[in-house]
Structure formats: C-alpha cells, structure tokens
Amino acid sequence: MFLLHFAEIITLLVVEANRYYHDHLDRSDKGPSSLPDVSEAEMLVFLALTIQMGHCIRDKLTDYWSRAENFHTNFYGNAMKRDTFFHSLHFLHFTNKHE
C-alpha cells in the first residue's frame, strides 16, 4: 500500500540523492568514491529504519548499530549497514538545486 502512494516520491528521492552525491564527488579533490549510488530498495529500507527509530529512541544515531550489550539490536544491522545508512542520510535531497 505504501508503494502505491509513494512510488514517485521514492524515485524522486533516489534521483536527487544520487544527483547531490555526484555533485559532491565532482567538487571533491579526494577522487572517485567506493560508495555506490543509492538504489530504490535502499531508500525504502532507509525510510523504514528512520521511521522505526522513532519507536526505539537512542542518544546517537550510531547507537542503533552499536554492539554494546545495552544497545545491541540486530534489526538495524541486518536491515542495512551503518555506513550505507549514513551515506543515504548525508546525501538525502529533495530537489535539483541547479534548476
């Protein structure tokens, strides 16, 4: 049901996040990145994890992937790697800033 209503929005988020990511790479002197573009499947998992985080509040975002006994929850690490989540978060973009 979610996809029926939000498929266009998910596609927009993926296109704009990847555009913003490539703009960042073009401005960077670090050379090519080993991180791939965000896919629609990853964007859906990213959004699902973000919603889930509202039900299980932690002090820091990294705590969701912590291996410390008092924080450890397999759900987040099994759904998406921490670095992939932060990559998606860092480049989350909703519009083309060049238009």
Burial label, 85 (beta-carbon count in 10 A; 0-12, 13-18, 19+): buried
Which amino acid would we find at residue 98? H
pTM, two decimal places: 0.85
pLDDT digit string (tens) for the chain, length 99 residues: 667 778 889 999 999 999 999 888 888 777 667 788 999 999 999 999 999 999 988 999 999 999 988 888 899 999 999 999 999 999 999 888 776
Distance in angstroms (rounded) separating the CA atoms of residues 62 and 66:
6
Which amino acid would we find at residue 33? S
Give the model's pLDDT for residue 40.
94
The per-residue b/e assignment along 11-30, b for 16 or more CB within 10 angstroms, e otherwise, is ebbbebbbbbbeeeeeeeee
